[in-house]
Structure 1
Amino acid sequence: MCSVSAQNNGIEDIEVQKLRIENTITQSEFDTQRGDYFSAKTNLETALSLAIKTEDKQNQGIIYAKIGKLQFLVNEFDKALVSLTKAAEIQRDINDSQNLAVTYSIKGILHAGKEEYKNALEYLNSAKTLFEEQNLEVNIPEITLNQAKIHLQLKDYKTAKSLLEKTIVLAKKNNQNNILSDALIYSGKALDKLGNNKQGITLANEGLEIALANQLTENINKGYVTLSDIYQNDGNFEEAYSYLQKHVKLSDSILNIERASLSPEKRAEFIESYNAAEFQKLQKKVEDQESDSNLAKITTILSIALITILSLLTLSLYKNNNIRLKSNNMLQEKNDDLIEAMKKAELASKTKANFLSTVTHELRTPLYAVTGLTNMLLEEKPNPDQIPHLKSLKFSGDYLLTFINDILQINKIEANKVELDPVLFNLKTKVENVCSALNNSALDNNVQMHYEFQKDLPETFIGDNLKISQILINLIGNAIKFTKDGDIWVRVYSISNNGDDHTLRFEIEDNGIGISKEKQDNMFESFSQGSIQINRKYGGTGLGLSIVKGLIEILKGKIYLKSELGKGTTFFFEIPLTYAPETVKIKKEDYSKNISNLDISNIKILIVEDNKINQMITKKILSKMNLQCDIVDNGEDAVEKVRENDYNVVLMDIHMPGISGLEATKIIRTFDKELTIFALTAVTLEDKMHEFDEAGFNDIISKPFKQEDFEKKLYEVLANDHNTKASSIN
């Protein structure tokens, strides 16, 4: 009876231990789902100890596989491979084919994560074969899904599509919503790559709906980014941007949770508790030794000291490499994460452009009032003692406008939105004009300008003369700013030519303060002038050289720098230009006088502007040109005014309360296609131009505008209107 009782107790103990193992494994799975990977790992190690103690080989294999999967999730690929290899060895020894298939499946995913696609497919095929031998059809959809993902990475879209179709059928049959959702989303991606965008959108949306209905966060995120990509390829950028925003928002939430789970505090807590436990185990083991020899005592002391040192060293190394650990976690993301990061970068670029557009609009609107009022006051014969103050105000306004324009220029260059505008021009005259325009500034610093143009070099070329002027103005302006009581040489010559195609070198040399060797490497970066002291002493935005480099690269050229501190600086850039015959010089016109020569007795202009100061300034400019105007301060009234009156020109502000200038113009175009409507706006980014065209604007006048440009555009419209009427009378 006693023997039977003991056997029964032994059986019960084994069953209890198995139950404990299963419960601990279950707890680790809950921890993994919560993202608490360290607790999950601790529970799995506890379960593994119990399985080894009870010689439970099957659970040992299962646990090693789960540990490997967990290590893979936290990007410990090498450790994961070791754990999975141990699992496979045990499972092959005991012929546990079902769990061996699971291990092979995880190894396949691991190799795919390391971009070892051949090995990945081999393990996944082995897993699929084992599942089929065991009649475990329910496990096959996950295998075919992962195989399809690999073929997508290999750009074998037809094979991927075929595997995904099998996955969808099996997942529906087995009610596996997670796999079904994932397979539909990836099918959308495959069809998009095969050129069937519409069907791709349909399937991706179907997968996203299943994910949303079942709160499958990862699949929802995949759905968002996949639909964003497909819509972008389809040319529907509005929808693409909308889904990209959703994706980034959800990604940030997921990332915050992962950061909390994998935070430095969690790692430190785990390491510290682990080392403390190991220390106690070893200390107890040493204390239990029966030998009291000197060697044993020394071993005890040394062992305890060694463990203590290792514990402290581990924590110390962790703290010293805190930033590196967090960086590695981000850098070791899988391929999908890399794509997501690229999408985030793209969104960041768009966000920056929108931010700059908004901020510059907010800055340029009041700046329009500052520069406009200042110019008006200077023209109205102010008191002599007021003139210096007004000139200082004008200088400050012009400086701020230059700074804003520089920021916009940098933004356009970085966004690849600067387009070339090649025209026929006289290069020699162009450089002479730039030098002449800057000569007064040079004389203020007691600097002499010297201009050398190669004698036998042709003078007229085809190229973007405005960008060349901007480059020269920046470089010569810099030379003047950093030179006092010295000289500046501007040289232009050809370094090579093939028929009419020349490579020209421009040199701007000064004998000013120079640039130290350590500062030269950063001179072409934004907001860089060498030092804070230089910024304060000489002023400037620190954006000029960055703009210069960007423009020269757009012109397919190169720029170089040679300088020595205290001895001066030479900037030289090389650009290709094509010779062309002499061009006709265009005489500068006084459009204000030209307008006065027209019959403007019946001219009607409508100003649509909600800012009272801007209303006054615009009206003052028109009055100076002897033009009469009406003013309204919102889009609704603008539409009614146009219905009731016969205007020649409408100056339409864009940002107003109620309906915007864009909406008002769209409404006007429904009943008046011929009326000239100018967008009077502070928004200047090119990515807004299509909106103005679609709304029906004839042209854009950017605020704050140059009065000459404003007069020129009005003159062209009014002169054309006058000629049309004259011709109809004849």
Structure 2
Amino acid sequence: MSKYLIRILLFMLFNLPTTLVAQEIDLATQKVTNQKIDSLLTVAATAIENNDYNTSAQIMTRARILAEKTNNKGRIGITSSALSRLYLLTGNIKKAKEENELAIKMQLGSTDYEENLGQSYITAGKIELHERNYPQASEYFEKATEVLKNKRRPELLSKIYLNQGIIALTKNNTQKAGELFDMATSQANDAGSKFLIAKSNIQKAEVLLLQKKIDDASTAINTAQEISIAENYPSLLSESYRISSHIAKEQNDIPKAYEHITLYNNYIEKNRKNKDLVISINQLNDNQSLNDQLKKDIELERARSSKANTLTTVLSIAMITILSLLILSLYKNNNLRTKANELLQAKNTELIVAKDNAEKASMVKAQFLSTITHELRTPMYAVTGLTHLLLSENPTPEQKKHLDSLKFSGEYLLSLINNILDLNKLEANKVEVEQTAFNLKKRIEDVLFALGKSAKDKGNKLNFEFDEDIPEEVLGDPLMISQILINLVGNAVKFTRDGNVNVRVQKIRQTESEAHLHFEVEDTGEGISKKKQKNIFQNFTQGSVAINRKFGGTGLGLSIVKNLLDLLGSKVELESTLGKGSKFSFDIKYNLTKQAGEESNPHNIIYDIDYVALENRKILVVEDNKINQMITRKILEKNKMVCDVADNGEIAVEKARNQDFDLILMDIHMPGISGIEATEQIRLFDKEIPILALTAVTIDENIDEFHEAGFNDIIPKPYKVEEFFQKIHNGLKQAKVFN
């Protein structure tokens, strides 16, 4: 045998172990990684079934990261497509579009992924449909049809026809929409999908209703309701109630129409705040550790394979032995790595569950406060509105005195609704301190007058000492000092019987621009023990359970006082002896101003309103609450404006289409379509008319949504009448109704 041939054989013997080891490591790594990805996607699917979108999104993102590490296009496409549909489900359109574009990129150009590509095109069409980009949506659905036409996927074709029918319906092409919904129903029957059958029948019923084919529409909606009830599809059942309500109305079955629209509204109200459940997933705590562990595992296998480079003279038996040892070592290492990963996944799942529970608790609290705020603001609008109307109807002096007290109390209750219920906002110093000229002495007298009856009922005497050297007018936040005193004096009255409550205000010092004042509220009541004084300013804290049962209350008052004084750069001091009474004191610095105070400016004439220009302007008031409807109408008509009323959003759209109005006042929560949806529809045919949101919804978090829908401005209920007319005046002026 020649030396050349011997060298070739030695070279092959030298490189064979390295090649085999490298191939074994790569295959093992790919297999383990794929197992991890598939396991994570299974867990994510279970989370979606349980409506746990947070956990599902996080787990799918981890799976996608693993797929990217091994450049596995198939699994990258699958995870990105699944993430896109999840984000679309929860309303995160930007993230849905990003993930779907990545999925399409991975799936294009390969016959292995055509069905996945078709699904991704459907998702892209839904995204464009959600953003009302109908031409782009149609283009994607056509692409999906082309890809899937020979793939025997009737459930996907049914989804395509459903969405194409919806697009045709937006163009008022009811004939084409009906044909597409029939095709969707046929494909859904072939697929055996009860959900798609029910959904297709709901859409078909809506088309038949528009075509005035009432009996056929009734048959279709009954079919959808039977399936939705049998299969437990609450969202479809809710939508079917909306359609069946309109059908019943056409059939003059008013009780049924009312019953079904009530069922629909209850479902919508229950679920209207669930759209923001998916949290940001860009900061997963375990991504880095997961990546590091994978790198270490791969580096370990590569280190072992490098040892084969030293086996230059190993015979074939030695090579087989070494390969066997390496395979055995890899098998053991894989077992250890799998167990370690399972343990890591279990710990990560525990952390995710704990984090999710904390976020859900916070979300429940925020939703509760938001609901309470809205529910209180609606009747408060009636209180403040009726008070304003009564004050404008020449009441007797005695009646005016009581109405002023009612107005005053309403203002403070509204302030409590806006600031106190949202304790998180208050404690985060997000409440703004106003700077308004006001008469401090009159403010305090109004507080004492409002609490006078409560004091009298308990046999207490209210005493007020006001330093006459204090300037008549100061510059500060009048509602904030009223809230502080209402809580302190109210507590003093509540915990005192047949005693005295003393309110004192003294000037500490004064300069040309500032006045430093000292406030005291002292009572002869129950008193507070030394032990309880440490915690008395915490949320929901009272002196004891016995005190809570005896006197009632939420335990929020002193916490509110503390937070408000913090905002004013002050702090409250407490002196108390059990059984003898308590004294609360604090200092506040007020700026001085030469502006007219409340007495010289009783109507707050700081608003630049041309009331003459508002006369005979035609206003459309969209409001489903009859009391609020009457109040708004009377306030407008007292200022010689012409007012028309729409009971819901659908009527408002029709009136705006067929009549000429100068301005629209739009409520948000109404039966049928919401104020936001009504405004979006009006903007399709009228871009110019001013539309103001007149709503009890808290607008801090939703102001961008209002403007995107086409609102010109927002008037939160309840409101000051001057502010109400100021915003109407501005809206008409900006629309150039007058100069």
- Output the TM-score relative to the length of structure 2: 0.47
Instruction: Between the two structures, name the one with larger relative contact order (CA 8 Å, sep ≥ 6).
Output: 2
Higher Cα Rg, which structure: 1
- Output the TM-score relative to the length of structure 1: 0.48
